[in-house]
Structure 1
Amino acid sequence: MTGGTGGEGRSAGASVAGDALDELRRARRRFVVLTGLRWLPVGVAVPVMVLLMRERGLDLATVGLLGAVYSAVTVTLELPTGGLADVVGRRPVLVVSSVLSIVAVAGVALGTSALALGGAYALWGVSRALDSGPLQAWYVDQVHAVDLDADLKPGLARAGVAESSGLGIGALAGGALVAVSPLPTTGAPLIALSTPFLLAALLGVAHLVFLLAWVHDPPRARRATLRDVLRDVPATVAHGASLAVRHTVLRRIVGFMLAFGVALAAIELLAPNAFAQMLGGESRAAAPYAVLVTLGFFGSAAGSSLAPLVARLAGRSSRGVLITAVLSAGALAAIGVPVIGVAAAAFVLFYLFLGMGGPLLDELTHRSVGPRERATMLSVNSMALQVGGVVASLAIGALAGATSLAVGLVVAAAVLVVGAGAMIGLRAPAQRSAGDPASSSSRTSLGPETSR
């Protein structure tokens, strides 16, 4: 009798463990697919975005102004939209973001004036701000609902692969689509260069369908009202911003993100010019640089797949971020070497190392916050990245203009190395066990960490 009971107990325990494993795999699979579908339309649009606006008659200054509109809207709304996702739930915010993204890319496809395109860009910025954290926050919530001690790195790494692969595959498809488009090349509301944006809109609809089918928030005692939103969103944003200052791990992560924003903006701003100089002009460099950007996306995907291995070899995630950031800085500086083979290899290596460190940095963030401010903190990180980008666009661009592209790249690399110093000796908070009563409230669970 005793032996039979014990066998039944072991069988039931194995069944429960198997069910939990299935839940974790399902959540990870959905997160990865949704991430890939999110970034595939962006990849389709990227190669032709400037070309379309130029064909519509906009000069480069106006094109730059539209980019500034997008960035300004995104930065302004980062924190409020992150707080909104923490208050009303991940699903409604993601759905609204997806709908706005579809409208925005369709608006770009059809827009024939600076005003119309500016409106589409502003909508796109709102969409970007809305989705900068909720999907990843939803995934972590799903994992922690099953097992608070589950390793987040595999899911975050695979999502990083999906993001970069979506961008790379989309970029190849978008460039090829223009060549086979049946639409006229000019003089119509829809032209050949509009075709990738129409495809991006259709892919956005597919993304929306999967969001509606797969993303569901945990049951709430009651639905958030407008009064809740007006009261709780500012409080959540203020609390998240306060944590970013008071909590040692989060403060260091934000500092690192500022430096990394400088590095990313520097490579986007200076690398095209560096390759144009080496290849004999912008027109001759356009096609090779497009291929190089695609290789960079795939390099980032490969790096993301290696992130768990990097963490194991480094001993902990923060050390892995430190090592990959220093390697990224070396690659960034090497892009200024006036030898095409060296510069091209350094460009791809920069994105490879970027991919390695990204999931590890995300894991550090998630282990330092609870569900009530998870999306808000992801928005804080995103905003820090973009602020660093603005600084680089102004300061590094001016420095490179006054000196040389190589000097600008070296200075940006030095900023990244300094920022990586924030990871030295950093240890993320231990993951809470299911029996820890503080795990249900991030405000209390974070209390002891602020004293580090």
Structure 2
Amino acid sequence: MGWTALSELVPLYPLYALLFLDTGLSAADVSLLFAAWSVTAVLTEVPAGALADRWSRRGALVLAGVLEAAAFAVWTVSPQFSGFLAGFVVWGVAGALVSGAVEALVHDGLAEVGAEGSFARVNGWMTSAELLVQVPTAAAAGVLYALGGYALVGWASAAVCLAWAALALRFPEPAREPDGESLLGTLRSGVTETVRVPALRLTVLAVALVGAVDAVEEYFPVLAGDRGVPTVAVPVVVLGITLAGALGAALGGRADRLPDRALSVLLLLAGVLLGAVAVVPGPGALALVAVAYGLYLVVLVVAEARLQERIDSSRRATVTSVAGLGTELAALLVFAAWALGGVVAVGVLVVAVVPVVEAGLRRRPVS
């Protein structure tokens, strides 16, 4: 959890959009940068997982930290569109390297000591740490900017990335039997396993659909503004929603023991609460969003644990990355829903995917 918190304690995170605008980029330029970041992540997601399986999950995390540090160094040295573009491409590769490797490394590390049943609890606390660290990150960003502007924020961010890369070097990595596959062979085998094993295929789809809902987080400030919250108070309100999500994630480990139907009910309730925002006035609507987000993260933590239970091969990072790619693509449905009908449409979308999620997360009978 310490590594997770450190990897998110990057002061540029809450400021980089402002950096782009203050450098003189237009809204269209910023959109192009985000598009390049997203495309890079999509293209490299599964190959990065295969690299982690074929080479080293720990090595993938270390390389990711170095690459992300390089991205922020480029932004700091060359604060212009070309520099930002290059940095986003490198950062996109770094994110892909982390995506599949970290869950595979944690699961197999726990399995090595006979504690794989604790994965949901550990994963829940890791997810909670990611959310909670947004508070000190925002504070650090403000202090560093006041002291030295974007340059100090950029160099500090690069230093933090190198620090979590160094910390990743200390992770134990269980030895795996060499299978003689090439990188391309590992990639092909992992994708084939995902597609051809029915239970695994359905679980990957369920995880992708559940994971995609997290894209609604991007709209929390918009929701707060639409509900009459003064701009100066929006960060505080969004923080409240984030804290509710952190609590839900922390409880995810316990929820893994709930009956399958209970998970579906939690996700269904989250969707209904989001839809109810349309008829609840003022701050009450934001309270509904906070509760919905907490319930949703309970289900997400369990979903990720169920996926790791289903994977029965050395290509764990590759299969996990396939689910990550599915999440990236399914998030487009959330963006489209918001464009069509705001938070209510997103709530309807959540309700609509419940049957698929229930089928995909159903526990297998013990033989």
CA distance in 1, matches of 2:288, 2:142: 24
- Tell me the residue number matched to 1:289: 234
CA distance in 1, matches of 2:103, 2:160: 20
Distance 1:370 1:418, change over 3 A: same
Match of 2:155 among 185, 189, 198: 198
CA distance in 1, matches of 2:85, 2:249: 34
Matched to 1:295, the amino acid is G
Match of 2:225 among 260, 276, 280: 276
Displacement of 1:55 in angstroms is 0.4
Aligned partner of residue 218 in structure 1, secondary structure:
coil
- Tell me the residue number matched to 2:214: 264
Per-residue CA distance 1:322-353 (angstroms, 9 max, x = gap): 23322321233244456331232123223312
Q: Is 1:217–2:173 an aligned residue pair?
A: yes
Q: How does 1:139-150 map to 2 (within 5 A)?
A: 139-147=106-114, 150=117
Per-residue CA distance 1:343-400 (angstroms, 9 max, x = gap): 321232233123312221111011101351211121111111110123433x33542x
Match of 2:126 among 159, 182, 185: 159
- Tell me the residue number matched to 1:302: 247
- Tell me the residue number matched to 1:423: 357
- Tell me the residue number matched to 1:103: 70
CA contact (8 A) 1:302 1:352 kept: yes
Displacement of 1:424 in angstroms is 2.9
Aligned partner of residue 72 in structure 2, secondary structure:
helix
Q: Larger relative CO (CA 8 A, sep 6+): 1 or 2?
A: 2
CA distance in 1, matches of 2:143, 2:262: 37
Match of 1:253 among 182, 203, 206: 203
Displacement of 1:431 in angstroms is 7.7
> TM-score scaled by structure 2?
0.89
Where in structure 2 are there 5+ consecutive unaligned residues?
none
Displacement of 1:104 in angstroms is 1.2
RMSD: 2.6
Match of 1:366 among 293, 296, 308: 308
Displacement of 1:132 in angstroms is 0.3
Distance 1:289 1:237, change over 3 A: farther
Q: Who wins on radius of gyration, i.e. which is larger?
A: 1
Identity of aligned residues (%): 24
CA distance in 2, matches of 1:126, 1:431: 39
Q: How does 1:288-437 map to 2 (within 5 A)?
A: 288-312=233-257, 314-315=258-259, 318-337=260-279, 339-393=281-335, 395-399=336-340, 407-424=341-358, 426-429=361-364
Displacement of 1:236 in angstroms is 2.4
Matched to 1:34, the amino acid is W
Per-residue CA distance 1:232-290 (angstroms, 9 max, x = gap): 33222233223333333332333334433553334524x4334333338xxx42x3222
Q: How does 1:117-196 map to 2 (within 5 A)?
A: 117-147=84-114, 150-178=117-145, 180-181=146-147, 183=148, 192-196=149-153
> TM-score scaled by structure 1?
0.74
- Tell me the residue number matched to 1:207: 164
Distance 1:279 1:300, change over 3 A: same
CA distance in 1, matches of 2:305, 2:40: 27
Aligned partner of residue 151 in structure 1, secondary structure:
helix
CA distance in 2, matches of 1:105, 1:427: 42
Deviates more, 1:54-63 or 1:156-165: 156-165
Where in structure 1 are there 5+ consecutive unaligned residues?
1-31, 184-191, 400-406, 433-452
CA distance in 1, matches of 2:298, 2:136: 20
Displacement of 1:81 in angstroms is 0.5
CA distance in 1, matches of 2:285, 2:208: 25
Matched to 2:173, the amino acid is D
Aligned partner of residue 174 in structure 2, secondary structure:
coil
CA distance in 2, matches of 1:351, 1:139: 25
Aligned partner of residue 173 in structure 2, secondary structure:
coil
